[in-house]
A and B are shown apart, each in its own frame.
Chain A
Amino acid sequence: MILKRINLINFRNYSSRELFFNNRFNFIYGKNGEGKTNILEAVSITTSGKSFLGSSEQDCLKFNNNNFTIETDFENELGNNFKINVAYDSSIRKKSFTLNNERVKSFSSEVFGRFPIVFFSPGSLNITYGNPSERRKFFDILIAQTNKVYLENLKELNKLTRQKNALMKGYTLQKKFSFKETDDLLKAYNEKIIDFAFEVVSRRASFLREFSGYFSKNFGDLRKTEEPAINYYSEIFGEIDTELLNIGILEKYRSSLAEQLEKIKDEEISKCICLAGPHRDDYVFRLRKDGGREGFELRNFASQGEHKTFIIALKLSEYDYLKEKTGTNPALLLDDLLSELDEDRVSTIISHLKDFGQIFLTTTDINYLEKLRNFFREDEISIYNITNGLN
C-alpha cells in the first residue's frame, strides 16, 4: 500500500498543507518542533483511528480552531485508489471518517487493518523498557489489525470490565444496588468475562506462536550471541513458554480464572476494581546466552544495546507479520529514530531499508541523505524541508 498524498487542514501547526509522496523514500527534515512528526501522526489517525502518540483529537486542533480535517490518498498494488478522510468537530467532540467519499459506519470493519503501518520512534523503546501496559498495547494493536474477532473480543472484555467496576462502585460506594442484585450481577459479569478472557488469551497465544518465528529470524540476523524468547505471563499460570500454551493449559486457565474470581470477590468489591484477567497479563522478553537455560529477563538485566536490538527485531517482525497477513507492504514510518541509535545500528537499518516498501523518515540531520543515496536512486527519494508547518 502506498500513501500518495496527504492534506492537513487546521491540524496541529498546519492551517493548510498538501504533500505528495514518493512511492519509495520520503525524507522529511527540519528542526525540532517544526511539525515533522505531525505529518506521521496524521497518517496514524486516518489508518488506525487514533494517534500513535496517544494524543486526544482535541490536542490535535490548530490553536483557535474547532475543526480539523485530514485527507489521505492510498494506492494498492493493483493500482486501486482509496481516499480516507477524517474530520473532527470539537463542538460535538466527534470524528467522522469517509472512505472514497462515503461515510464509514464501522471504522473497525471498513478501514482498520487495511492500510497497515509500522511506526518506529524513540518512544517505541517503551515496549521493552516500560510497564506491561506498553507491551499489551503494542501486541493488542498488532493482533487486532489482522484479527477482527480479537478486536471485538477485546472491546467486549473492556466494556464488561468497566460495567463490573461501575456495579461494584454502585454497591460499595453509592449503595445503589442491593447485595443480592450485586451478587447475581457479578456472577453474570464474571461468566462473560471468563468467556472473553479465554478467547483473548487463546488468540494471543496462537499469535505469539506464529510471531515468534518472524522474531527469532529477525533477531538472529542482527545478533548471534543470544537467543531471544517472548513468553506469556498471567497471574493465573505464571510465566509460560508460548509453545506450551496449548488448549489444555487454556482450558485450565478458564477454570482457574473462575476459581480466582470467586476467591478475590470480596477484595474486588471493596476496591471496586477488577483484579484478575487478561488486562493484567504481560509479555516477558528474555535473552539466553549459549549454555544458559532460563535466559535473563530483558527488562531488568539487559544492556541498552540489547534493548535496542530487541526493539528493532520486534519492529521488523511487526512489518513482516503485517505484510504476510494483509498481503500488502506496510508503510514504514521512522520518526526521529536515527538520533537515538549509534552509527553501527543506523548503518544496519539504512542498509535494510531498501527491502521495505514505502518509507517515511523524519530527522533533524540532513547528512543522512548522503547515506541513503547509496541505496536509493535519485528519483526514489523525495525531500521535504519542514519549517513551522510552512514550506
Chain B
Amino acid sequence: MIVTSESLENLINEFSKLPSIGRKTARRLALHLVRQSDDDVLKLSEAVKNVKEKIKFCRICCNITEDEICKICLSSQRDKSILCVVEEPQDVYVIEKTNEFKGLYHVLHGRISPLENIGPDDIRIKELLNRINKDDKQNIKEIILALNPTTEGETTILYLSRLIKPFGMKVSRIARGIPIGTDIEFADEITLIKALEGRIYI
C-alpha cells in the first residue's frame, strides 16, 4: 500500500490509541480535521497541549484540577466527615451534578485488575490510606466506597474495606437496585436479585 500523506497516517495512528476509537473512526476524525479551518484546528491543538501542561492531580483527593488543591477540597461548605471513594474523575462529575452529596471525594483512577496488570500500587490507594492516617483529629467518620459493581470494582471494595476497617470509621458501599421509573417486570434478572439482596426493612 502506498501512503500518500505521512502526517495524516501519523494523526490516524495517534487517534486510534484513544479508548473506544477504532481504525475506521480514527481515519474519519483525521480527515474531518483536514477539512476544518486552520483556526479550529489550532484551537484543538492548543486545548490538547494545555491539558497536559495545566492539569494536575489534587494533592488531597487526586481529582483533576489546575491548582495544587482542588476547589472541592478547598471549599468550606463541604462536610469533611464523609469521604466518597470513586474510580474515575467522571464519577465525581456525575455525583456533583446531583447537588446532593456534600462530602469530600477520593479518586482512585482505576480499580485493581491483575489481568490488566493493575495492582494496588497502580491506583491511588496509598494516597487514600495516607489521608486517613493523617486525619489525627478523626474528622472522617464515614467512607463510602462508590465503585462500579463489576468483578474488579467489587474486589477492590473488598480489598479496601479490609484496609480501612482497622481505622475504626464507618465503611459503606452504594446500594444496587432497580432504576427509578423502571417497572420491576422490565428489570433484568441480575439487577432484580441484587435489589432483593439489598432490600430495606420498613
Identify which of residues 143-193 in chain A touch chain B, using a CB-to-CB cut-off of 8 Å: 148-149, 152, 156, 159-160, 162-164, 166-167, 169-170, 176-177, 181, 184-185, 187-189, 191-192
Interface of A is mostly: helix
Taken together as a complex, chains A and B put the C-alpha atoms of A135 and B165 apart, in Å, by 43
- A-binding segment of B67-75, B139-147, B187-195: B187-195
Taken together as a complex, chains A and B put the C-alpha atoms of A109 and B192 apart, in Å, by 13
Q: Tell whether, in the assembled complex, residue B190 and residue A152 are in contact, meaning their CB atoms are under 8 Å apart.
A: yes
Question: Given the interface contacts A159-B151, A176-B119, does A149 sit within 8 Å of B114 by beta carbon?
Answer: no
Is A78's CB within 8 Å of the partner chain B? Answer: no
Is B163's CB within 8 Å of the partner chain A? Answer: yes
- A192 partner residues in chain B, CB cutoff 8 A: 151, 154-155, 158
Question: Given the interface contacts A106-B188, A192-B154, does A91 sit within 8 Å of B23 by beta carbon?
Answer: yes
- B112 partner residues in chain A, CB cutoff 8 A: 185
Question: Given the interface contacts A109-B188, A149-B190, A189-B155, does A163 sit within 8 Å of B162 by beta carbon?
Answer: no
Taken together as a complex, chains A and B put the C-alpha atoms of A148 and B187 apart, in Å, by 13
Is A247's CB within 8 Å of the partner chain B? Answer: no
Q: Name the CB-closest residue of B to A177.
A: B119
Residue among A92, A167, A169 facing the most chain B CB atoms (10 A cut-off)? A167
Selected from B22, B120, B152, the residue in CB contact (under 8 A) with A181 is B120
Q: Tell whether, in the assembled complex, residue B151 and residue A163 are in contact, meaning their CB atoms are under 8 Å apart.
A: yes
- B154 partner residues in chain A, CB cutoff 8 A: 192
Chain A contact residue count (CB 8 A cutoff): 27
Identify which of residues 127-169 in chain B touch chain A, using a CB-to-CB cut-off of 8 Å: 151-152, 154-155, 158-159, 162-163
Identify which of residues 67-118 in chain B touch chain A, using a CB-to-CB cut-off of 8 Å: 112-115, 117
Binding site for A on B (CB under 8 A): 22-23, 112-115, 117, 119-121, 151-152, 154-155, 158-159, 162-163, 188-190, 193
Binding site for B on A (CB under 8 A): 91-92, 106, 109, 148-149, 152, 156, 159-160, 162-164, 166-167, 169-170, 176-177, 181, 184-185, 187-189, 191-192
